[in-house]
Copies of this chain bind each other. A is one copy, B any other.
Amino acid sequence: MGLTKTEIFTQEQNQLAQLLKAMAHPARIAILQQIISANACICGDLVDELGLAQATISQHLKELKNAGIIQGTIEGVSVCYCINPDTWKLLESQIGDFLKLYKGSANCC
């Protein structure tokens, strides 16, 4: 059926899954790394940096924006992107909490 049954999971589980999914693509990881390493808003020179077509980059940017991870501001002709600090903080706490659940205990298997 290809459609996730979100209604049977908690809000937290769905939210975390959505954030992870938004980052679960090498191109989107590369885009985020570029944005961060520029340490500022980056205007769309991403097409030259990565080896993907402009339409493809634009689509990945859209997905990151939909997830709230980045935000774009129109700067004259071009658009500048930067990390959304609130979402990034949320991401850190949600993933952090989740990863901390496992303490390496339990001698099994």
Contacts and interface: CB of A to CB of B under 8 A. Distances in A.
Interface of A: 4-6, 8-9, 13-14, 16-18, 20-21, 23-30, 32-33, 36-37, 39-41, 50-52, 71-73, 80, 82-83, 85, 88-89, 91-92, 95, 98-99, 101-102, 104-106, 108-109
Given A8-B50, A102-B36, A102-B83, A73 B29 contact: no
Contact of A24 (B21, B30, B92): B21
Contacts of A40: 106, 108
A23 to B, nearest CB: 5
Given A8-B50, A41-B109, A51-B5, A25 B17 contact: yes
